[in-house]
Amino acid sequence: MTAIRVLMVDDHRMFVECLRGMIEQESDIEVVGVCYDGPSAVARCAEIQPDVVLMDFNMPAMTGAEATRRMLERRPETGVIILTMERQDAQMFQAIKDGARGYILKDAQVDDVVRAVRRVARGETIIDPLLTTRILSEFKRVWHSAAPGAAEGLKERELVILRLLAHGYTNREIAAELCFSEKTVKNYLTMIFHKLQITDRTQAAVYAVQHGLVDPGHSDTARMMAGESDMAG
């Protein structure tokens, strides 16, 4: 089994070295690099191409959100997890907007961090449970201010698939609902993601809520935005 290759980025050296030692006890995870600021992390990521990046948010020279954006411009398949002490809503939403697939508080258990690394390596998204309620509250606010039906550029069939995805349907369930093959569903999702300039199912669910296509209060939509559904591809 190929180990998950992880790059760690944090200006708190004692913290990152302690966490590194604990993570490296896992047989399926290998820490392939450590950086202490944003610019060096962007360069190092392009060089070693890790599967997952554990990224601090507040760092000298460049924030974690900016480093995430630059990393993903070069290599969009990289899974970035923001690991921070901050519980600020604006910071969290900025990180998600910039493409982070995970947002975890530094006081989480090591097992939670390891679990997040594995899930993000599989293409999933993970948000700290303590923050999920605040995320859903924000999406409900957006829902009430959104212009219903606004999804410029998507065809009717693509809108149907996007709504099903946002309601928590897996690729297999979407295929069964529409009498498609799973490969056809994946092809549609690839086109949808390209048109909307997004990279994963969670961002697609967020888009659907923002544009009034689904109700964020729906239980499966909430589950999707909390990162508990399957990956797109």
Report pLDDT for 215: 57
Residue 158 has pLDDT above 90, yes or no: no
Tokens encoding 183: 């490969």
Domain that holds residue 32: 4-127
Residue 229 has pLDDT above 50, yes or no: no
CATH number at residue 174: 3.40.50.2300
Tell me which of 127, 154, 170 is where a domain ends: 127
- Assess whether 21 and 113 both reside in one domain: yes
What mean pLDDT do residues 184-204 have?
A: 86
Domain contains 171 = yes
CA distance to 84, 151, 158, 184, 199, per residue, from 190 (Å): 31, 16, 10, 10, 9
Interval 117-143 mean pLDDT: 72
CB 6, CB 52: distance < 8 Å: yes
Task: Answer yes or no: are the C-beta atoms of 100 and 68 closer than 8 Å.
Answer: yes
Using one digit for the tens of pLDDT, what is the confidence trace for 5-47? 999 999 999 999 999 999 999 999 999 999 999 999 999 999 9
| CA 97/CA 114 separation, integer angstroms | 23
Q: Summarize pLDDT for 47-78 with one digit per residue, the tens.
A: 999 999 999 988 878 888 889 989 988 888 89
Q: How far from chain centre, in Å, is Cα 90?
A: 16
Structure tokens at 231: 């990956």
pTM across the whole model: 0.61
* pLDDT above 90 for 143: no
The whole-number pLDDT of residue 149 equals 44
